[in-house]
Each structure stands twice: as C-alpha cells, then as structure tokens.
Amino acid sequence: MKVVICGAGQVGTSIAEYLSDEGNNVTIIDSDAERIAEVNETLDVTGYVGHASQPDVLERAGAADAEMLIAATYSDEVNMVACQVAHSLFNVPMKIARVRNQSYLNPAWANLFSRDHLPIDVIISPEVEVARAIANRIRVPGAYNIIPMADGLAQVVSVICKQDCPLLNTPLKHLTSLFPELAIVILAIIRGDTKIIPGADDELLVGDEVYFVSSTDHLYRAMGAFGYNDPQTRRVLVVGAGKIGTRLVEDIQSSMRDISVRLIEADFDTAQRVSEKLSGVTVVHGDGLNREILEEASIGTTEAVITVMNHDESNILVSMLAKQHGCERAITLINSLSFSSLATSVGIDAVVSPRAITVSTILQHVRRGRIKAAHSLRDGFAEVLEVEALETSAIVNTPINEIKRPRDMIFGLIVRDERIIVPRPDTVIKPDDRVIILASHDQVRKVEQMFAVRPEYF
C-alpha cells in the first residue's frame, strides 16, 4: 500500500514506522528539514521537505498513486487543505486528518467534512480521544489502561501487580481452575524493559504490568482477581483547564453525573472563561504545585486527581503532591516516552499518552480486511485486534488447536451474538464471530491473512 503522511512529529513518525515495518511504501512530508533528515536516516521511508498542503509537494511525495493520505501536521488548516488537494487533484481514496480545534468539530458544522466540501474520510481529534481514555480509567479504579472492544462488550485492561495480587507466582494455565466462571484471558506482560507475550507456564511477578481481556460484565470481578477492590470514584480533581481538561470535565458531567468535579487552572483568564462555560463545576484559580491551592480544592477528600497540563514534569509533580495529601489515585498525562517509567516508579496510578492514543486511533482506520479495531500497546511491541470471521475465512469451522497461527499471537475472547466465549483448544470459530486477538507487531499481517477470504472463493 502506498501511503503519504503529512507531518513528521511524534504521531506522523510513529505511524510511518508502523507502516514501513509492514512493507508498505511510505513517504512523509514536513517543512522542517532537520526532522526529514532524521526520518530518512532512521526509518525505511522517503522524506520530503515542503508544505504538506501544496500540490507540487504532494505530487513529489507520490500522492497521484497513493491509496491513503494521513495529515497529522500541527496545523488543522494545513491538514484539511492537504486532504482537499489530495481529493481534488490526486483522487486519493482514503484521507485521514488530525483536527484539534473543537470549533471545527461542533456537530452544527458536521457537513463541513462531506465530499462536497472538505472531503475528509476520518477525523481524528486527540483531545476527544484522550479525554475519553481518561474517563474510561475513572470508571474502573485500579486500571492503568483500559480499551473498550466489541462495541463495549469486552474490555482490554492493564493493571500493575502489587504485593497483594492473588495471581502472583501462579502459572497462567491454572487461571481457569482458579476462576472457572471468570471470562478473562491474559494477553501480555511488561516486566521492566522486557515485553512478554505469555505462554501457559508463565507467572506474574510483583511490579508486572499485565494486559488482560475480560467481558465487561466480569470486569470488576476481574479487577478483584488482581487485588483491586477499590470503590467507585465519586470526587475528582482535574488540574489544567486546556482543551483536554475542559473536554474531560464535560464528558464527566454528561456521562458520570454521580461524580463531583473540581478544576484548578493557573491562568486567570482561562479559569474565568472555563468557570463561565462549565456550570456546576468549582474552578480554583492557582498553581497546582501550591499546597494551599490543592487544599482549597479539597485534595484530602478527593479520590482521583487528573493532571492534564502542558508540561510532563508539572503533571508528575502535582500528582505526587496530591497523593501525599491523601488523594487515592493519580492519573497523569505524559507526552514524552522517557517519563512513562518514571511516573510508575513514583506511585502514579495511570499514565495517559496522547501520542499512543492518537496512533492507535489512526491504526484502526489503516488496518485492512475484517479488522474492526486495532490498538497499539506500549511502544508498539504488540497490537490488540478485533477481527470479524467471515464464512469464507480460512479459519472458520476449525478447532483452535488445529489452526496454523503465527508465533507471538494469543486468542483472547470470542464474541458470538453478543455472548462472550473464552476460547479453549477445542473451540471452533464460527462465521460472524468477532475475535479479540493479541499479536506482536511483526505478526499482524499474518493475522490479517488468517481471516482473509480463501482463494477458492474467487
């Protein structure tokens, strides 16, 4: 597949690396010559210096024969114009744009992005996606990460194994006998710098970050199996009233009305504007690093603090201070990968990465065939996929233990007519099943082939 990517920032280069590793023909455009030089040196892609919305630059990057254009520059307007040019001049079939300004995303202007106006097939809003990801973590206390799958019938969750985790030092093959009624499958283990796609004899150790998939109905029982029996969150403090913080508070107000929210913002004008916009929310003007401001915001009786300021260091420090004041959970926005491990080592309960969330969101629309959802895990070592089995797919009507599958792949749950099935060796995948799978990044293409149409049907 020929793909043109506009923007060589964190998101653009991450997507370029994913796609080029899978053998796609990728070109990437950026106006910063140093970034393009780095891309050309480190990735198996072709980089071009230029403004991504200009026709001659897009032509030079190969837009005329591209199957997809992904516009992820820092400018919404450049992204939108790049998609328009790609459509009008080069007839690119699929156009994805990152749009951050919420004014463009107002439902009142939904027709703006139709084929007759600005023909963009998929709009990605990092602020919306990040706010949604944080809200999911609020709903499930103890979850380090949580990814809804299969229209919300299943959840992929990561947790940190603490000293009191009942599953420690037990081979995973015994999980079924320990919890026979629990619809849960362990998908991946991150142990320090080591990333493990586990086998039946692997065990969990203190400090492991574990990814598992569970039916939504069994989610809180699954969290209890890992030692997390925390009560539901009722009081939340958000620090930072930027786009993400404001959107998050709006989401909480609309979908979690039993939660009370307070908001801290250092800039006076922003605090005043947000206070007028968000009715029913107490907005405190001040620096979240100031102990008196935290106390004014009732940090001692707050169950979860969420730090979404522009600087990683400030987010981490405010989270640490909040926990020292008695706050039970800290959810922290971190942009730099280098700070992620630091955050967990200082007691932060959950880390949210805008880059990782945006990349995963884009991947869902890049994957081919019957892949309904794709989510990248921790620096891209593996992906969780939701795949639909067609009647003509090679693996249907065959017991799982007889399926020739790639290495480093695990069958998670099977969704059949809204019923959750934990796969066993003799389980047979049926047509229309939705199968949740974990596969290492380099095996995703083979998973796609497993679910492809058998040659005899052509």
pLDDT tens digits along 295-310: 999 998 999 999 999 9
**Residue 173 shares a structural domain with residue 278:** no
- Flag whether 40 is in a domain: yes
Residue 336, domain CATH: 3.40.50.720
**Residue 107 shares a structural domain with residue 195:** no
**Residue 160 shares a structural domain with residue 88:** no
Q: Which of 199, 225, 251 is the last residue of a domain?
A: 225
Count of structural domains, the chain = 4
**Residue 73 shares a structural domain with residue 109:** yes
Beta strands in 122-265 (DSSP E): 122-124, 145-149, 154-160, 184-191, 194-196, 209-215, 235-239, 260-265
**Residue 19 shares a structural domain with residue 111:** yes
Which domain range does residue 276 map to? 235-351
- Flag whether 136 is in a domain: no
Residue 209, domain CATH: 3.30.70.1450
What was the pLDDT predicted at 369? 59
Write the DSSP symbol of residue 111: G
Write the DSSP symbol of residue 294: H
- Flag whether 141 is in a domain: no
Q: Residue 435: which pLDDT band, with cuts at 50, 70 and 90?
A: very high
**Residue 320 shares a structural domain with residue 373:** no
Residue 455 has pLDDT above 70, yes or no: no
pLDDT tens digits along 89-147: 999 999 999 999 888 888 888 788 887 788 999 999 989 999 999 999 998 988 988 99
pTM of the model: 0.85
Q: Which of 181, 197, 225 is the last residue of a domain?
A: 225
Residues 451 and 395: beta-carbon distance below 8 Å? yes
Average pLDDT, the chain: 90
Q: Residue 176: which pLDDT band, with cuts at 50, 70 and 90?
A: confident
What was the pLDDT predicted at 181? 81
What was the pLDDT predicted at 226? 93
Distance, in Å, from the CA atom of 213 to the CA atom of 197, rounded to the nearest integer, reads 14
Q: Which of 331, 351, 371 is the last residue of a domain?
A: 351
Alpha carbons within 13 A on the beta-carbon side of 446: 14
- Flag whether 142 is in a domain: no
Residue in the block written with tokens 């300021």: 309
- Flag whether 143 is in a domain: no
- Flag whether 140 is in a domain: no
